[in-house]
A and B are shown apart, each in its own frame.
Chain A
């Protein structure tokens, strides 16, 4: 399978285009069937790609036969294939949930959804930093349209902020790329990493400015502290399947920080080694604190979930800032867990909101819900997981991150921040649970039933939590290998010299 690495990009693109054509465009049922089956094929493809790159080493796909560093190469290493698989699984969950009715609220939900998946997969797979920008734009323009899907004042308002901020972000991205190309003279990530240590002294300041501008852009995507204000409103305004899919969007930012600031400006970058780390430490720490305050202050379950995203972003970046193999590995484990479970939490919030009439998902006393037991169980599992209580995956993720900090002087920052944020989440989530499930009055009058598709979608995403615990050993083995591959740059160096053979 020579062309395997490009399939996760090609497949959603072709499916999206086909869905705009006559046999599909008139029938929502055909679109649903086609889109879901395509997503299942995408999961299989991603899993195959992950296995191939795991067993046979990093897969390099040279587009159009133009030799890197001049042409664009797709790099399917352990990290990118893991992220692609994660995207597909989350995508299937969000799509199944949308098939229960949300996709009829506006036009072209499924094609847009597929374009978004294409952009995310492309951003993960590409080995060229300008191509990364292009895929960012692909996923962004799809997300602009998805966010406003269904319409309404709240969505329009949130979308205006989201679009303007991201357009400014894209401009800064281009400024940074211009600076980096002007100084380093290459856009291939591996090639840039090789050239950065050789920069002359007068160019180092410029390259540093470019590198830090990139941190601003990725920080905006990832919702790092001073750039996170757009996130809660946007995620709370989006319809449930879209919000669930957006759980991967902040991870695109974190992934890019990992790639750029650990590969290009990593430990081997000479004078420019680890330029982002002095910024990441305090900002990640403050992000956790702000997220925790946001969680405590949220008046509704959706806003709570959105603020939980910020807490998880802070935790992940704190682990990345440690610049240790063990910490990176822990961050990757935590990333899998938090993406899937936050996705599920947005869906549960939507279920609750649909069942409680005018009270929606706000923390006020309202009527009983129709399917209290089912939603209650799902909420309970999701809550325990995001808070980080045993026996679910959040607990293991947090333990791994805390363990990785051992022996560092920064441990006095990391442990209290992570643990206190956990406590704040516990308080907020238990308050939410008691208000929504126990302090209800009267009998349920709503006859709103839950579509089995929604239950399947939530079960699919939530099952990740116990599965990550049961298969904790192979998963951590894999993340350890991934972290080792990221930190040890020697095997990757080789392909830049031999990669032109294809």
Chain B
């Protein structure tokens, strides 16, 4: 169980960080969301994984650590608010700056490449 769990958290984090390093705000937002999922799972596992363990004392013979569950709840709420904010901000920056590049302007070599591609598309099509 631990191995699969760790693998999931690892893959989510890797994908998240890869997407965060992209140049467009949309992929960055998706990346941030993936990282926050990974963080929530990771925090949850910090109380050790346990099956059939109630978080309340006296409910079962073995009990799970309740604190990480409280922490995850807090982290989810905060992460949710932050994601909502960053989505609105990304839309605002698209409106204000006229493009969705994280730096507010698309680098010139990228524009040159894109125009070349679209020109060749036209020729071929």
Q: Is A156 within 8 A of B104, CB to CB?
A: yes
Contact of B42 among A130, A151, A178 (CB under 8 A): A178
Interface size, chain B (Cβ < 8 Å): 33
In the assembled complex, the CB of B93 is this many whole angstroms from the nearest CB of chain A, namely 5
Note all chain B residues with C-beta closer than 8 A to A157.
93, 97, 103-104
Contact of A178 among B25, B43, B92, B93 (CB under 8 A): B43
Task: Give the CA-CA distance A159 to B25 in the complex, in Å.
Answer: 12
Q: Is B86 within 8 A of A171, CB to CB?
A: no
Q: Does B106 sit at the interface, judged by CB under 8 A? A: no
Note all chain B residues with C-beta closer than 8 A to A130.
71, 74
Task: Give the CA-CA distance A152 to B104 in the complex, in Å.
Answer: 12
Q: Is A168 within 8 A of B43, CB to CB?
A: no
Q: Does B75 sit at the interface, judged by CB under 8 A? A: yes
Q: Mark B44-79, 1 if CB is under 8 A from A, else 0.
A: 011110000000000000000001100100110010
Note all chain B residues with C-beta closer than 8 A to A174.
39, 42-43, 75
Q: Does A144 sit at the interface, judged by CB under 8 A? A: yes
Most buried by B among A179, A181, A187: A181
Note all chain B residues with C-beta closer than 8 A to A168.
20, 32, 35
Q: Mark B29-47, 1 if CB is under 8 A from A, else 0.
A: 0001001101100110111
Residues of B12-35 whose CB lies within 8 A of A? 20, 25, 28, 32, 35
Q: Is A153 within 8 A of B74, CB to CB?
A: no
Q: Does A134 sit at the interface, judged by CB under 8 A? A: yes
Q: Does A164 sit at the interface, judged by CB under 8 A? A: yes
Q: Is A160 within 8 A of B46, CB to CB?
A: no
Contact of A170 among B20, B67, B82, B102 (CB under 8 A): B82
Q: Is B25 within 8 A of A160, CB to CB?
A: yes
Q: Is B35 within 8 A of A160, CB to CB?
A: no
Q: Is A160 within 8 A of B90, CB to CB?
A: yes
Note all chain B residues with C-beta closer than 8 A to A151.
96
Note all chain A residues with C-beta closer than 8 A to B47.
181-182
Q: Does A177 sit at the interface, judged by CB under 8 A? A: yes
Residues of A102-126 whose CB lies within 8 A of B? none
In the assembled complex, the CB of A364 is this many whole angstroms from the nearest CB of chain B, namely 24
Q: Is A153 within 8 A of B97, CB to CB?
A: yes
Q: Is B74 within 8 A of A160, CB to CB?
A: no
Contact of A164 among B38, B92, B102 (CB under 8 A): B102
Q: Is A178 within 8 A of B85, CB to CB?
A: no
Task: Give the CA-CA distance A33 to B54 in the complex, in Å.
Answer: 52
In the assembled complex, the CB of A177 is this many whole angstroms from the nearest CB of chain B, namely 7
Q: Mark A438-470, 1 if CB is under 8 A from B, else 0.
A: 000000000000000000000000000000000
Q: Does B112 sit at the interface, judged by CB under 8 A? A: no
Q: Does A100 sit at the interface, judged by CB under 8 A? A: no
Q: A141-B81, A167-B82 are in contact. Are A156 and B39 (CB under 8 A)?
A: no
Residues of A348-406 whose CB lies within 8 A of B? none
In the A-B complex, the 4 residue pairs with the closest CB atoms: A182-B46, A157-B104, A178-B46, A156-B96
- Residue pairs across A and B with Cβ atoms less than 8 A apart, 20 shown, are A134-B78, A141-B81, A141-B82, A151-B96, A153-B104, A157-B103, A159-B89, A160-B102, A163-B86, A164-B32, A164-B86, A171-B35, A171-B39, A174-B39, A177-B71, A178-B39, A178-B45, A181-B46, A181-B71, A182-B45
A residues apposed to B, CB below 8 Å: 130, 134, 137, 141, 144, 148, 151-153, 156-157, 159-161, 163-164, 167-168, 170-171, 174-175, 177-179, 181-182, 187
